[in-house]
Structure 1
Amino acid sequence: MSRRSFLSTAGITAAGISGYARDWTGKNPARYPDPAIISLDPRFDKYKLGNTPVQRLYTNPNRLWNEGCAWNAVGRYLVFSDVPGDLQLRWIEDDNRVTVFRKPSGNSNGNTFDYQGRQISCQHGPRRVIRYEYDGTETVLASRFNGKRLNSPNDVVVRRNDDSIWFTDPSYGITRNYTGTKARSELKEAVYRIDAKTGGITKVTDDIVKPNGLCFSPDLKKLYVADTGEGSNDIKVWDIDGASLKNGKQFASMKLDGLLCMVRLFLVARKSPNS
């Protein structure tokens, strides 16, 4: 190619680049500190990292709900439920993929992992709490109390000092054919404990309208439960006395769903209707 031909070709290329319409829209720049992280008490401000953003890991207009997140530290993945969609999904940290983990899921809601790495799920459909064993089989941990069917187990936590399993049992999953199957409630809505050694189920409290999310204090001496009943909307707290609860009282007044209690932080997720 001659010098003149080369320059002519280069000129055409440059003209094409200059005439290209660039897209300047893009995403809005991140704001720091992230306005989505809120301290309700100024004493907690010192624990906020100014450059820590809230990141959206997944969104899909074809999914109905995202509920019951549980982190598996060994597999480095996050399990969560689409309750009316009757499936569980899994976000994988290694490649940022989200895939269907289980379908059907029994309209599972809350999930957690015990200290042996086994997943425990609350199922609205069959109205029970189950554990997935290492070989993929299911063990039913709770489906009835005193011969009567549970309502629709909602959230579940494991107490690490004795491996006992505590769960809430509101009626959200049986009020209509959406997140379960409409049915008559046979038991008062309550919080239950499953003994790790015997498998026995104990009702630890029904002094609550609609028990929802729950968590332990870091020292395992207190149990916090979100009450999402009409006219209630509280976080309640009890002292744990062995396998029972005592000294129940209001801890805070707010409308919320999931709870997580860390050493100096108390994290909550706002409640959606019928969850």
Structure 2
Amino acid sequence: MKPQSMHPDFSAVVQPNSEVRRVATGMAFTEGPVWIETEQCVFFTDIPNNAIMRWSEHDGLSIYNANSHFAIGLYLDLEGRLIVCEHTTRRLTRYEHDGRITVLASGYRGHVLNSTNDVVVRASDGRIFFTDPPFGVRQEDGQLYGYQQAMEYGACGVFCVTEDPNAPQLVTDAIYRPNGLCFSPDERTLYISDSSERYHRVYALRMQPDDTAVDPQVFFVMPAGVPDGMRVDTEGRLYIAGLDGVYVCAPDGVLLGKLPCPEMVTNCCFGGPGRHTLFMTAVSSLYAVDLASTGLQKP
């Protein structure tokens, strides 16, 4: 499928004659792609099958972890360790290089978390931020695969990790159903998607010195379905997963174009040589498209 331009500046995003291509399929519901530079591969999750998957141009598709606690969002920390949002345990974990698993966040104010969903690592200092909507525990809020349990602390927060897994720092609870998140290139703005039918918006919030995020402003309203995972390129353009593809917005929120997909896109990440390829998880498949832009995500 060919990219769809909606603004002249979209020419700086796509390569001539580039097309969205399917590189792997056969999964049940995919999410959380992250590029592993050292292995030249993509990790992503297949939630119903309780697996973290691995795909590379050289090796094709394989299972990295067959018992991931119904993992959803993934990211790498600054040391290249995998950060994992787990639905059934309702926690955020880190896979150490020696195979151990460290729990980074599991509770808040004496209650368990809702269901950690997406995660990002701030490049300037390595601090870890994650969203905690109820999608893994409440069917009426879009539950996919998790346990039917109640929200315990009474809200949906965006948090950053502290030394105490039971005391993450609240960044904001102003977003109704926070899902995807990413930073602007200067890390002064935090983008958060509200993946609810009520709002289906992406918000831009100002980061404060104490790592709270304030003044949520509507950045983009998803025209089809709800916004999900997001990534940003080196020029500050935002790539937003949606019902029928990835929507690309300029830093001022102007829609530049769309990378269409035949399945609902849940998330995306940059990878490949020079980070010029956008990988997209879309229900049963992993898709890729080669771009002229460069992904910011590091490592």
**TM-score range relative to shorter protein:** 0.7 to 0.9
Contact 2:52 2:71 in 1 (8 A): yes
Measure, in 2, the Cα distance between the counterparts of 1:40 and 1:214: 24
Aligned equivalent of 1:70, options 30, 34, 49: 34
Partners in 1 of 2:76 and 2:68 — Cα distance? 16
> Where does 1:86-101 land on structure 2 (aligned, <5 Å)?
86-95=50-59, 97-101=60-64
State the TM-score, normalizing by the size of structure 2.
0.74
The separation in 1 between residues aligned to 2:173 and 2:191, in whole angstroms, is: 14
Alignment map for 1:1-275 (pairs within 5 Å): 34-35=1-2, 37-60=3-26, 63-95=27-59, 97-176=60-139, 178-187=144-153, 188-195=155-162, 201-242=168-209, 243-254=211-222, 255-264=226-235, 265-271=237-243
Output the amino acid matched with 1:77. Answer: C
Alignment partner of 1:45: what SS?
Answer: helix
Q: Judging by fraction of residues, say which structure has more helix.
A: 1
Asked if 1 retains the 8 angstrom alpha-carbon contact of 2:184 and 2:232, the reply is: yes
Q: Which moved more, 1:263-272 or 1:100-109?
A: 263-272
CA distance in structure 1 between the partners assigned to 2:9 and 2:265 by the alignment: 31
Q: Relative contact order: is structure 1 or structure 2 higher (C-alpha 8 Å, sep ≥ 6)?
A: 2
Q: TM-score, normalising length from structure 1?
A: 0.81
Cα deviation, residue 178, structure 1: 4.5
Contact persistence 2:135–2:144 (CA under 8 A): no
Q: Report the alpha carbon displacement of residue 55 of structure 1 after superposing the two structures with TM.
A: 2.1
Q: CA deviation at 1:48?
A: 2.1
Q: Secondary structure at the match of 2:9?
A: helix
- Residue-by-residue CA offset, 1:111-135 (whole Å, 9 max, x unaligned): 0011100000000010000000001
Q: 1:244 to 1:178 in 2, by over 3 A?
A: closer
How far apart in 2 are the matches of 1:170 and 1:233?
A: 14
The residue type paired with residue 221 of structure 1 is: R
Name which of structure 1's ranges 168-177 and 76-85 shifts more when overlaid on structure 2. 168-177
The one-letter amino acid paired with 2:47 is V
Letter paired with 2:104: L
RMSD of aligned Cα (Å)? 2.0
Deviation, 1:40, is 4.3
- Deviations 1:185-204, CA, capped at 9 Å, x for gaps: 11211111114x67651111
Deviations 1:27-49 (A, max 9, x none): xxxxxxx52x2344433333321
Question: Unaligned 5+ residue runs, structure 2?
Answer: 244-263, 267-282, 284-299
When residues 106 and 66 of structure 1 are mapped into structure 2, their CA distance, relative to the original with a 3 A threshold, is same
Give the 3-state SS of the residue equivalent to 2:25 in structure 1.
coil
Report deviation, 1:155: 0.3
CA distance in 1, matches of 2:241, 2:69: 23
CA distance in 2, matches of 1:82, 1:98: 12
Residues 84-119 of structure 1 deviation map (CA, whole Å, 9 limit, x = unaligned): 211111002323x11111111100000001110000
Displacement over 6 Å in runs of 4+ = none
Change (3 A) 1:168 1:39: farther
Q: Distance in 1 between matches of 2:23 and 2:220?
A: 29
In 2: Cα distance, 1:153 partner to 1:78 partner: 21
- Give SS of 2:179's match: strand
- Contact 1:84–1:180 (Cα < 8 Å) also in 2: no
Give the number of the structure whose alpha-carbon radius of gyration is greater.
1
Query: C-alpha separation between the residues in 1 aligned to 2:144 and 2:230?
Result: 24
Q: Do 1:215 and 1:260's aligned partners in 2 also have CA atoms closer than 8 Å? A: yes
